[in-house]
Amino acid sequence: MSTSLKNTAGCGKIATTLVCLCSILSHRRKDKNMKKKVRAIIIKDGSVLLIYRSKHGQEYFVFPGGSIEKEDKDDMAALIRECKEELGVDVSVGNLITSSIFDGGKEPQQEMFYFCSIISGELGTGNGPEFQGKTGYEGTYTLCWVSRNGFEGKNIQPANVAVIVKEMM
């Protein structure tokens, strides 16, 4: 398993400068067949919103989000749709914080992590496949807020992005 990451943490806490944003965009891999995903970094009252997963005997935390579909106009539209499906909330999508290429053995995928803010809705009311029967979705799926101190001892994936987010908090 290999992960490539463009870190923009040195560009300032939450405000990402245009120079860093351009650097991330130039880092994007050109492979059109690579699966692309978008992820939300939602920080509120000193905690970040994560999804606790228990699947095939493994326990870990991930940032909300999912795949970019053909119907999505762009990354931002995909992330807005994913947050509505997974979380039950509408979000405002902000700056791209980092981009990561993950090769977990199946097929490489690129993940883009955006800073987001919840603008309406109620957490936990999502209607995605995670909440419906007979969709083939496996394991447990629990939303949780994790404080900066709460990162210790948690398997937050991808770990290199967790480090950046912890620095932002």
Give the rounded percent of residues in the chain with a pLDDT score beyond 90. Answer: 60
* DSSP string for residues in 64-115: SEEEPPTT-SSHHHHHHHHHHHHHSEEEEEEEEEEEEEEE-SS--EEEEEEE
Q: Is 68 exposed, middle or buried (0-12, 13-18, 19+ CB in 10 A)?
A: buried
Q: Is residue 34 within 8 Å of 110, Cβ to Cβ?
A: yes
- Assign domain 2-168 one CATH number from 3.30.1490.20, 3.30.200.20, 2.60.40.10, 3.90.79.10: 3.90.79.10
Chain Cα centroid distance, residue 144: 14
Q: Could you read off the pLDDT of 34-52 as tens digits, one per residue?
A: 889 999 999 999 999 999 9
Is 50 in contact with 161 (CB distance < 8 Å)? Answer: no
Of the pLDDT bands very low, low, confident and very high (cuts 50, 70, 90), residue 11 is very low
| Residues 79, 151: Cα–Cα separation, whole Å | 24
What pLDDT does residue 139 have? 75
In angstroms, the CA 53 to CA 142 distance is: 7
Interval 108-161: pLDDT, tens: 899 999 999 999 999 999 887 766 666 566 778 899 999 999 999 999 999 999
CA 14/CA 82 separation, integer angstroms: 22
Domains of the chain, by residue range, sit at: 2-168
